[in-house]
Amino acid sequence: AQSVTQLGSHVSVSEGALVLLRCNYSSSVPPYLFWYVQYPNQGLQLLLKYTSAATLVKGINGFEAEFKKSETSFHLTKPSAHMSDAAEYFCAVSENQAGTALIFGKGTTLSVSS
């Protein structure tokens, strides 16, 4: 069965600092991996997705993630945090490229301080 584990339920960074949110996956088949962001009182928004075309995936708002098969990881990074990045971030895996029946991690809350 597929699953994802997000390390750290809460990450705090200063404005301008590097953002690193960790996600490890478990899958018996080539996975399709996704990062979603949820701002307070809003739905989930797709940040980026890995569908085997390229291991380094660039998403919206300056975020990117790198698929590392040897480490079964898909960590999310952003070089310089902005106050508006404060939100909850979810890593998810799907058995298909369309991302149906997504299996989500527990989520990581990102706090950004000035």
Partner 1 sequence: DSGVTQTPKHLITATGQRVTLRCSPRSGDLSVYWYQQSLDQGLQFLIQYYNGEERAKGNILERFSAQQFPDLHSELNLSSLELGDSALYFCASSTSSGNTIYFGEGSWLTVV
Residues in contact with partner 1 by CB under 8 A are: 36, 41-46, 49, 90, 92, 96-107
Rounded to a whole number of angstroms, the minimum distance from the CB of residue 44 to partner 1 is: 4
**Among residues 55 and 97, whose Cβ is nearest to partner 1?**
97
Between the alpha carbon of residue 99 and those of residues 20, 51, 62, 70, 105, the distances in Å are: 23, 9, 22, 22, 14
Are the beta carbons of 31 and 80 closer than 8 angstroms?
no
* Residue matched to tokens 């960590």: 75
**Among residues 17 and 44, whose Cβ is nearest to partner 1?**
44
**Among residues 73 and 108, whose Cβ is nearest to partner 1?**
108
